[in-house]
A and B are shown apart, each in its own frame.
Chain A
Amino acid sequence: MGSSSSRMDHIPNAEQLMQETGFSAAHILRLYARFEFLDKDERGELRPEDFGALRGLAMNPIGDRIIGAFFSRGKETVDFPSFVRVLANFRPTETNTIRDGGQSFSRTRKLKFAFKLYDQDRDGKISREELLQVLRSMLEQQVTEEQLQSIAERAIQEADLDQDDAISFEEFKKSLERVNIDEKMSSHFLR
């Protein structure tokens, strides 16, 4: 315990982070190790290239979007607290702390993250073009452009309640209300 707490001392704002994100000390330590591993230049912050070095991520069709999600607007780097905060989106909601409010809060937070993956221009709406980009990267090989168009069209039409030809966050949330977000957007390891 002594050694772990002394290692914890290296981590800036560890306690605060734990409180904020709900991660345990072990999680924070593990994530910090990972952070240091990714941070090849040991500058205490990560740049997109650091993420790009991950092979699996490079192959992931939406990998670049995930990477993008780590960087807040206009910033070129991400420091450890932000890194942890982003990952905290993928923490399963604790069953014993589920109160109605808590769960829906976590749900909204997770959905917000997913929404931002689409909404690259951050105007609060998924436009047809934005949806199309995601579709294109995911289905590329098998489906022709025309088919992509029609799929995008249909998807928008399904969610689009106010007929503005784009999906707002509320519409997005509504369209996924039957999906168990907590299950779909939780990583086992961040539990």
Chain B
Amino acid sequence: MQRCGHVHLWLLGLVSLIFLISGVTKVNGDVAHQESHPKPQSELKSNQTEHVHGSSVITGIPVVTFKWHHVETPYLIALWILVAGLGKLVIEANHHVTSVIPESALLICFGFILGGIIWGADGVQTFTLTPTVFFFYLLPQIILDAGYSMPNKLFFSNMGAILIYAVIGTCWNAASLGLSLWGCHMGGAMGDLDIGLLQYLLFGSLIAAVDPVAVIAVFEQVHVNEVLFILVFGESLLNDGVTVVLFNVFDAFVSLGGSQIDAVEIIKGIISFFVVAFGGSLVGFVFGLLISFLTRGTKNIQIIEPGFVFVLGYLSYLTAEMLSLSAILSIVFCGMCCQKYINSNMDERSVTTVRYVMKVLANGSETIIFVFLGISAIDKTIWVWNTGFILLTLLFIFIYRFIGVFFLTWILNKYRLVRVEFIDQLIMSYGGLRGAVAYGLATMLDENKIKEKNLMVCTSLIVVYFTVILQGITMKPLVNWLKVKRAAVTDITLIEKLQNKVFDHMLVAIEDVSGQIGHNYMRDKWNHFEEKWMSRILMKPSARKSRDYVFNVFHKLNLKDAMSYVAEGERRGSLEFIRNETAIINFNKKFGDDCSDVMPDIMADTSDDQGGMSSMRGDPVPSISLEMHEQTMNGMRESEDINTHHLLQQHLYKGRKQHRHRYSRSHFDTNKDENEVQEIFQRTMRSRLESFKSTKMGVAPPKAITKHPKKDHQQKMPNGKSMDKSKTNYSGDEDFEFSEGDNASGYEASGHSFPMRLTYRAGAGIENPAFMPDLDPMAPVQIPPWRAEAERDSSMVAPSQRAQVRLPRRPSDLCRLAPLSINTRSDNSFLEADVPLTPPPPPTPTPPPNYFDGSI
């Protein structure tokens, strides 16, 4: 009930907004709502204008003037965006509704309401979706987003099918609909209409295409399996291009007039079809490469990277339009080509920005499109009712979609390795939603050439409503009822990914042996070519290094583990993070649910000279420590306050605020004080490990480990050396290997990298080491070993020591250990592991931080 109240409030607000913008400027003073603030201004304005008009002499400097016409256009645009956004907000707030009725349908209905209001106020429809606005300002970002987030491998491995559906299927839809309608017309089913065969075909072509906007909106809510999704989605993207091309060809035919058309013209039409389609794709490809190439060189000014993507993407659209090639195909391919390269070239933050802004734009456009589709309906001038025409169109669209899909799939299934199942075909056919592209094209029709333009516009609107609303609503129940295979929501595992790669190689090898050239073979060749040439030219060398697929998966998993480790530790509360809880909270907060999205926060540059590689190198330190500082300041418990304060005093957490608020337009400022940052990080990690271990043991660590000055020294050495040393250490030291899944050994080993840790270990296990004031005073200056390593290896990949090899195991073990949990085995091994450590420790193990530190 409460919610309903909110909705009404919102609607009231929106309604008043509409009144405001639809030219009803005489806002009544007694309508008291939140938009009333312009009122004084309007009064002011009227006074002012009278004044000005009356005398045209400025007698005094006006303090405030009201210049509506000055800002009218941008103001209206902004308001519309706001209205659409608010509409979406309201709709999304009612989750139980959106789970039944797809958002797109609701937005259209919202549009109906708005349109009704405008109609009521103005008596004419002031706002309709014009083709220019739609094709130039609303569509491009949606398509760019679709292309950019296209799963390329999936797309290309189903490319054949997608192309067949998109090209042949669309042509089939257009032709069959046009011809059938014409036939019915001839048969007298529609009464007296001035439409010839060519016009029917033109109409067929404009309404033939499945609309990506509508399809994405519906299908992303139902989570069908990925093959089905890519087929529908890919088809809808490409056939938009196809339908525009077809439309233009038929439009030309119509202008030419029936008598002029001979075989030559038809052949020219077919040729132009292919030229336009492939030319557009080519333009997109070129622009995609251009974007990739530009982002390769933005090392010093990363802030402009996202700009390039958007501007060049848009330019590819406009260029193709200018050359009268298919703009939609152009921008699709632009997005698809550049995604791989820009994602690895750009800074992580830029990638997130691009991704996010693209989603924002696409979503905004989508919302506006649907709202306007609704608004456009409330317009008496376009409503020309012809029952025969409209109903037959609906019927034929539905039927021919089914026929087309089933027939094409039947052919495709003869060749496809993985058959498209019957149920999937049903869903594909049923998912043939028409959308704004059809409407946009219909409004582009020339009234002089096509007498029944309004009928076509109105029919296409009805088709859109019918498919989006009715089919959209029934899609989900249908998918459930037919038990369509859903997308598996599973965690990735490293071994699966690894095995997938093996499978790929295996199939190539088998094709080699059996002497067949198949798509595995082609893909392999393409990969080689791509690796050899394109990556070299289009990718930063540093980016190329660490983008191996399996390795990336590995890295992601590590990150995830790190997060779950923290979460688990926190949940159990047994890691004795209590005093450190601030740090933990920060880790959690920072790492969030989805590592890839949050990473950029964590990936801050820590030093200028590392600029280039910083994009590759995760450095979790800065933001964490920043937060930590804050948290330390507010969230401390009373009892610990003094202790902490003491520590903070001692360890110079000062001057950070200044760094923080420095403003720069081109750089996100990050904490440059590396030592400080490292010190904090180091300390946090150390104490966590320590306390984790002691809890696990239940007692204080059994013995003190003597300090190794030499080791310390080694670690303090900058870059290369210590690393080399540790490397040799490692290789010579095969037997330093914990062969059991115990928890502590890894940390135990890694403990040695913290020289000062040893001192306090001797003390009480309960005392939290992080807050022992007598920690090595050198700490702030010291380059921690993992840092040294990071510097050495710019590609910045993961752990380099056997000790670290253990790390990934940790969190899962934690889970396994869950309740009381330490199984005896692991307990023992822990003790065992502890003992051999007393002698000079084997490798200079890198501390767990590295774990967070890996490359993306």
Contacts and interface: CB of A to CB of B under 8 A. Distances in A.
B806 A90 contact: no
B618 to A, nearest CB: 15
Interface string B527-570: 01000000000000000111110110010011000000000000
A124 interface: no
A147 B551 contact: yes
Contacts of A153: 805-806, 808-809
B509 A143 contact: no
Contacts of A63: 505, 509, 512
Contacts of A188: 415, 417, 516, 518-519
B808 A117 contact: no
Interface string A63-102: 1001000100000000000000001001010010000000
A165 B508 contact: no
B551 A54 contact: no
B551 A179 contact: no
Nearest to B497: A155
Given A149-B805, A151-B554, A175-B496, A142 B417 contact: no
B514 A60 contact: no
B503 A114 contact: yes
Given A142-B545, A143-B548, A144-B800, A87 B503 contact: no
Give the bracket for the number of chain A residues in contact with chain B: 35 or more
B419 interface: yes
B548 A175 contact: no
B417 A191 contact: yes
A14 B793 CA distance: 58
A30 B551 CA distance: 39
A163 interface: yes
Contacts of A165: 739
A43 interface: no
Contact of B496 (A59, A147, A178): A178
B506 A114 contact: yes
Interface string A138-180: 1100111011011101110111000101000000000110111
Interface stretch (B100-108, B232-240, B487-495): B487-495
A186 interface: yes
Nearest to B488: A178
Contacts of B508: 56, 60
A56 B495 contact: no
User: Which residue, of B498, B506, B558, has the highest number of chain A Cβ atoms within 10 A?
Assistant: B506
Give the bracket for the number of chain B residues in contact with chain A: 35 or more
Contacts of B516: 187-189
B521 interface: yes
A187 B518 contact: yes
A10 interface: no
A11 interface: no
Interface in B747-799: 793, 797-799
Nearest to B727: A146
B812 interface: yes
Given A56-B521, A178-B490, A189 B511 contact: yes
Interface in B622-667: none
A157 B741 contact: yes
A159 B509 CA distance: 26
A179 B493 CA distance: 11
A92 B419 CA distance: 11
B494 A144 contact: no
Interface string B821-834: 00000000000000
Contact of A163 (B419, B506, B740): B740
B799 A150 contact: yes
B802 A149 contact: yes
B263 interface: no
B510 interface: yes
Contacts of A178: 488, 490, 496
A29 interface: no
Interface in A97-145: 114, 117, 134-135, 138-139, 142-144
B501 interface: yes
Nearest to B557: A154
A117 B550 contact: no
Contacts of B544: 142
Given A146-B730, A158-B494, A66 B506 contact: yes
Interface in A33-52: 34, 37-38, 51
A190 B505 CA distance: 17
A31 interface: yes
Contact of A154 (B496, B793, B808): B808
Given A57-B513, A155-B494, A139 B548 contact: yes
Nearest to A177: B496
A22 interface: no
A142 B521 CA distance: 22
Contacts of A147: 551, 554, 797-800
B502 A56 contact: no
A62 interface: yes
A48 B481 CA distance: 54
Contact of A54 (B506, B513, B800, B805): B513
Contacts of A62: 502, 505-506, 509
A189 B512 CA distance: 11
Given A114-B499, A150-B798, A163-B741, A60 B512 contact: yes
A135 B498 contact: yes
A167 to B, nearest CB: 8
Given A146-B800, A185-B506, A57 B512 contact: yes
A109 B680 CA distance: 54
B494 A179 contact: no
A175 B495 contact: yes
Contacts of A66: 506, 509-510, 513
Given A151-B554, A154-B554, A183-B417, A34 B515 contact: yes
A87 B548 contact: no
Nearest to A179: B496
Given A66-B506, A150-B798, A184-B503, A56 B512 contact: yes
B130 interface: no
Nearest to B547: A142
A56 to B, nearest CB: 4
Nearest to B413: A95
Contacts of A92: 417
Nearest to A34: B515
A63 B418 CA distance: 25
User: Which residue, of B547, B550, B802, has the highest number of chain A Cβ atoms within 10 A?
Assistant: B550
A150 B806 CA distance: 8
B797 A57 contact: no
B804 interface: yes
A51 B509 CA distance: 10
B726 to A, nearest CB: 10
B495 A155 contact: yes
A147 B548 CA distance: 12
Given A87-B513, A90-B510, A139 B741 contact: no
A187 B548 contact: no
Contacts of B505: 60-63, 138
A117 B503 CA distance: 11
B615 interface: no
22 contacts: A37-B515, A56-B521, A62-B505, A62-B509, A63-B512, A66-B509, A114-B506, A142-B545, A142-B548, A143-B551, A144-B797, A146-B799, A151-B498, A158-B495, A176-B499, A179-B496, A179-B500, A186-B417, A187-B510, A188-B516, A190-B514, A191-B417
Sort A-B residue pairs by CB-CB distance and give the 10 closest, nearest first: A146-B800, A66-B509, A189-B516, A142-B548, A56-B512, A184-B503, A153-B805, A154-B808, A34-B515, A155-B495
Given A63-B505, A187-B510, 15 more contacts: A34-B514, A60-B505, A66-B513, A90-B507, A138-B501, A139-B551, A143-B546, A150-B807, A151-B554, A154-B557, A158-B494, A179-B499, A180-B418, A185-B503, A187-B520
